[in-house]
Every structure is written in structure tokens, then in C-alpha cells.
Structure 1
Amino acid sequence: MTTNNNDMFADAARDVLADQCTPQVVRAIEEGGRTAEATTALWEQLEATGLADALLSEDAGGAGLGLGQVFGVLEQCGAHALPLPLGETMVARALLARAGVARPPGSIALARGEHLANGGLRCALVRSGQVAAAVLVQTGTEWRLLNTADAQGAAQALALDAALTWTAAQVQAAPAVEVNGALDVRTLQAAVVAAQMAGALSSVFQRSLQYANERQQFGRPIGKFQAIQHQLAVMSEHVFAARMAAQLGCSAGHDGMGVVPDRLRVATAKARCSEAALVVSELAHAIHGAIGFTEEYDLQLFTRRLHAWRQTAGSEAYWYGVAGEALLHHQGMTLDIVRRITDVDTVL
């Protein structure tokens, strides 16, 4: 698949999201959750594009793409603050198809779970758990596909996230899914989230740049002041570095199809994007001043997500720890690890 074809999928995502995933729609879904009319309407539009099946083989009705080839799609999800788990659904459907498990209708979230003493199962954090129709859960080496409507839920910091718990009977009734033993849901989710963070970071930067050029103070745009220019320059450095790292995180992995990402590349991606989230959000709000903190202003739709996504699947501290551990156990030169991470032959 060529870069031009990859851009074609990203352009398709950009077009549908720009038209259908407006700030008004995002707010309506955040307020209404799974039962909101906006939730159903937006998901139907996304299904109609075929993007949710992009990682399926062509024989299974998909496009036969790998994770790296849909980076642009994932990036657009973040750039438009998409409140539905399209990226996770793409991955989950590919894994279900490989395992021969029928996919449920609607969107699918990814999560790590833990078994309870009574035989039940609990996920402390299900990203988009309040809008997803199902969750593909990993507990140790076991994977199960669970219905969110059956779960007992509790709200989390981000409006659409949830903590979900299922009874022992519900867990036993859920289909088991055989997944590549090398795959860890945290690593997979971190790759997806990093790509979305790259898109959200870019949107925050573009909005800040536009505001700095439009906001007048002392007779000229505030973007003409050196202090603001310096803040924008720092933002730009973080945004573009994070995007490059996120591309690495989605590059081809161990399964020959690009659905299982390289853990060390993902560590680089998620750590860099999580680190950038704090700096870029802080500077964006500094440039916008008081208006940036109001609920009515759209900036918060992105910065709230960046702060939440920073912690999702591990913060920069966790992933820098993963990278540091790999370095300590490496017997060769440090440069060899750098080359392994940045080898452009397998990146997009």
C-alpha cells in the first residue's frame, strides 16, 4: 500500500469527521452517551465509510491494511476529538476476524481486566466505555468479548470513559478470543492512543496559532509579540516531534500484518506524546487566556482529552521505564536500539 493510498484513507476520515463530528456533535455525545441520537447517527456515518473494517483482510471484506497504514485515520480521530472508539474498533475487528469470532454490531473498546474472587471480571478503565457496544478485554493471556450493556458501570474522569464490572455468569457466557501470544492490549492501545494524541496536539496548535493571529492587543495581533512567538515555537517543536514518534509507534510489528506493534517503538511514541500533552495544553491555555478555560470554547474538547489520554495505557513515566529497561538489558551499542526504533524501512 503506497503513501498516496494511505493519504486517501486519511482524507476520507478527514472529510467525514469534518462534516459529521462537529464540536456540537461531540458535546451531544458526551452528554447523552450510548443512547444519544448523535451517537447512533455518527457511528452509522463512520460505518458507511468502511473505515472500521480497514484492518480486515480483503477476503474478509476489508482493505487489508496494517496499523501503520491507518495512522492518518487514527490521527484524524484525535484531530476532530472523535468521541467514539473507531481506532479500537478497527483493531478489535481485525483480531476477532483472525480468531474466527463473530463481531458484534456497533463499536468495540479495548481494555485490560482483572478477575474477581467471585468469578466476575472488572476493568478499572474502559476508554469510551459509555458509548462502545462491546469491549475486547485481556486478563492475563485470556481475551474475552463482553457486552457493555450487561456491565455495571461507574464514571471516570473523562466523560465517556467508564469502569465496568461483569458477573461470573456473564464472563462465562462471553466468547473467548484466541489472540497472538505476543500481543499485549496495553501496548496495542498505547499505539492507537498516541496516534490520536498526535492529531489532537496538532489541532490545539493550529487553534492557538489562529487565535494568536486574530486576537488584538495594544493595536496588533498578540502573535506579533515575542513572548507569544516563543510559546508557539515551543508548541510546534513538541507537536511535530510527537507526530513523528506516533508514526513510529504504528509501524509494522511482529505479525507480518502490522496489527501487533513493536513494544519499544510504542514506548517511544506514547512517552513522547504524553510528555507533549502537558506542555502543549499548558501553552495553549496560556495563549488563549481566560476564554480558553470556558466550557463553551472548543479548546477544552481537545485539552481535556489530551490530559486523559496522557494516562491511558500508561503515562510517559511508565513508557520511559519500558524503554530504559530495554536499554539496560541490551548487550550491544545504544545506537543499535536507536536504529531499531527509527528504521524507516518499516515506517509508513
Structure 2
Amino acid sequence: MSDIRDMLVEQVDRLLSDRADPATLRAAEAGTWPEALWAEAEALGLPLALVPEGMGGTGLGWGDAAALWQALGRHAAPIPLGESMAAAALLAGAGITPPTGLIALGLPGEAIAWGRRAGHLALAPGGEAALHAPTDWQQGRGLIAREPADRPVLGAPLAEGRLPGAYGPDAALLAGALLNAARIAGALETVLLMTVDYANTRKQFGRPIGGFQAVQQLLARCAGEVAAAGVAVANAGRAADRRGLAGAEFEIAAAKVVAGEAGGTGAEIVHQVHAAIGFTDDHPLHLFTRRIWAWRDGAGPERLWARRIGDAALARGGAHLWADLTSRDEEPAA
């Protein structure tokens, strides 16, 4: 699927470059739904990209999704496209044909971005999937990302189905973790480029601050974090394609931890280099760093996933630890 993936990533980058400028992001934070952007995403077939062709989708895999979700992060996309893609994939996995329009993805204890705009909601507890049409939404707002964040009022499900074993009992949480790790990785790419450009143009003591070794060292550290996050996300996507979401829990958990820590370190560095200007509301830097901070907590913070990695390692025992760390890619697909 690499050719289709590359084409879709290019289309997403182009679409968001045209439609997701800072003014649109600020308007979304004020509660204005980016209708034109969502309509174009639907016209490209992106919400159903992970759905099999027989159900009207494109049939992409989780590795393809991770690449697309990184593109969403690079532009701090103000629409819940990644969540809708994951929700449609889980419904399709349970044999439920996904409806058209925005499908919200429900995660335990979390408010849903732009839930008020969703006609349907997908839940996937305990290895099952259910399609709902919420009767109402308790409207709210994210404290960090500032976007609308709502909680559903549910009635009886419209459809229910059993997910295959490869999805596992935590399919929605795993898909959400991969989504947020990918968005963090993409957003880090953008803030690094913004910061390098700023360091090469902002002058102090008669020369660009990027010429000072201390600043160069900070940028090099940030570049290392960006690279680590991107590699971890790509590895998690490949593992999910080979072994399913449940079989890739280690890689997805590692990606969430690595991307989350990279997001914290990277955001600290880019704000340090930008200094006071980076904290002003007029500067676009915070439009990305605030979302990075929000995505760190989305679908579980680093401590949750680090604990799950540790618990799994203890359950497997020390005799398996080295093989689990070095030979997982050699395991057959599920």
C-alpha cells in the first residue's frame, strides 16, 4: 500500500497546508467548525481509508494510518479525522458497515473532540464494537488544546459486533494511543522546522542565535527526539499490520511513551529557543505545543503505557525479555 499511502499523505499535506492555517486553528478553538476542511477530507475518502474496499473504504493498514496521522500532526489538524478513521476501522472489523459522516471514537473517561458534530459514535469495550447515535452531547472544551470536547448521552446501540481476536479487548485504546503518538511525532517535525528557521533569522550580538553552540546543541537534541518519535510510530504501525492491535501492544505502548517523552522535551526546547515571543498568543508555536501536551495525555499518558510494558515483561519472565526486545519483528503475522 506504500504507493497509495504516499499519495494520500501528499494529499493530506496539501489539503491542510491550504485549509489549516493559524486563523483556522484559532477559529476552531473558539468553536467554529471547519466545515470546508471536513468536506474536502470526506471528498478524498479519508474517513473511510482504513475500511476494507468491500465496505466502501480504501483498505489501508495501520502502518498507512500512522503515516497519515503524522501528517495530521504536522498541521495540527483542527478536525477529528484520525479519530473518525480509527472508529470506522473498528466498526468494520466487527462487521458493521461504517456510516458516512463524522464518527466519534469513544475512549474510557475521555471527552470527545468535536463530539457535537458527530452523527455517530463507536465504542469498542472488551473485544466488541458498538455503533451509537448519541441522543445529546454535554458540551465542553479541552483545557489545553482549547478545542470543543464533549461527552455523549447514549441510548441503545444501533449495531453491535464481535471484533476478531487480533484486535484484543483494548482495541480502541490501542488505536487511540497509536493515533496520538503519530500526531505528536508529526507536530514535533513542524515545531522543529519553525525553531530552526527562527534561530537562523533572530539575531543577537550581531549574528543569528543559531550560530551559537548552546542553541545548536538544543536544536540537535530536539532533532534527536523528533527522529526517535517518528521511528517508534512507524515501528508500531508495522507491528499492528503484522500482528494486529493486540499483538502490537508492546510497540504501540513504546511509541506512546517515546513520543510522549519526546513531546515534552521537544516542546520545552522550542519554547526555550523562541523565548518570550513563543509564548505570545499571536505566535503560532503554541498552536502546536499545546496540542502536543494534550495528545500526551490522550489515550493514556506515558506512565500508563510504561506500566503496561513493565507488567507484560514481568508476566513473561526474564527468560523471554531479550527475545521480546530484539526478535518481535520475526514473529509471523496474526
TM-score (structure 1 length as normaliser): 0.86
Which runs of no fewer than 5 residues in structure 1 stay unpaired?
114-122
Aligned partner of 1:30 in structure 2 is 29
Aligned partner of 2:72 in structure 1 is 77
AA aligned to 1:186 is L
- Whether 2:179 is the aligned partner of 1:229: answer no
Measure how far apart 1:259 and its partner are.
6.3
CA contact 1:10–1:73 (8 Å) conserved in 2: yes
Measure how far apart 1:201 and its partner are.
0.9
Could you say if the C-alpha distance between residues 343 and 278 of structure 1 is closer, same or farther in structure 2, counting changes exceeding 3 Å?
farther
What are the superposed Cα offsets for residues 181-209 of structure 1, whole Å, 9 maximum, x if unpaired? Answer: 51411111101111111101111111111
Please list, as runs of the form range in 1=range in 2, the aligned pairs for 1:268-347 lying within 5 A after superposition.
268-331=254-317, 332-341=319-328
Measure how far apart 1:277 and its partner are.
0.9
AA aligned to 2:293 is H
Distance 1:334 1:146 in 2: 41
Compute the RMSD of aligned alpha carbons.
2.5
Distance 1:226 1:132 in 2: 49
CA contact 1:248–1:341 (8 Å) conserved in 2: no
CA contact 1:265–1:341 (8 Å) conserved in 2: no
Q: Residue 32 of structure 1 aligns to a residue in which SS?
A: coil
Which residue, 29, 49, 52 being the options, matches 1:54? 49
Please list, as runs of the form range in 1=range in 2, the aligned pairs for 1:157-176 lying within 5 A after superposition.
157=143, 158-166=145-153, 170-172=154-156, 174-176=158-160
Aligned partner of 2:194 in structure 1 is 207
AA aligned to 1:335 is W
Which runs of no fewer than 5 residues in structure 2 stay unpaired?
none
CA contact 2:133–2:155 (8 Å) conserved in 1: no
Q: Residue 172 of structure 1 aligns to a residue in which SS?
A: coil
AA aligned to 1:153 is Q
Measure how far apart 1:344 and its partner are.
10
Could you say if the C-alpha distance between residues 71 and 284 of structure 1 is closer, same or farther in structure 2, counting changes exceeding 3 Å?
same
Could you say if the C-alpha distance between residues 40 and 234 of structure 1 is closer, same or farther in structure 2, counting changes exceeding 3 Å?
same
AA aligned to 1:176 is E
Measure how far apart 1:155 and its partner are.
2.9
Instruction: Report percent identity of matched pairs.
Output: 36
AA aligned to 1:179 is L
What are the superposed Cα offsets for residues 37-93 of structure 1, whole Å, 9 maximum, x if unpaired? Answer: xx2111001111122221122222322210102322111000000011111211222
What are the superposed Cα offsets for residues 192-247 of structure 1, whole Å, 9 maximum, x if unpaired? Answer: 11111110111111111111011111111100001100100110111100110011
Aligned partner of 1:13 in structure 2 is 12
Aligned partner of 1:126 in structure 2 is 112
Distance 2:224 2:68 in 1: 22
Distance 1:63 1:103 in 2: 13
Measure how far apart 1:21 and its partner are.
1.5
- Whether 2:43 is the aligned partner of 1:44: answer no
CA contact 2:122–2:129 (8 Å) conserved in 1: yes
Q: Kindly tell me the number of residue pairs found equivalent between the two proteins.
A: 328
What are the superposed Cα offsets for residues 100-122 of structure 1, whole Å, 9 maximum, x if unpaired? Answer: 43434422222224xxxxxxxxx
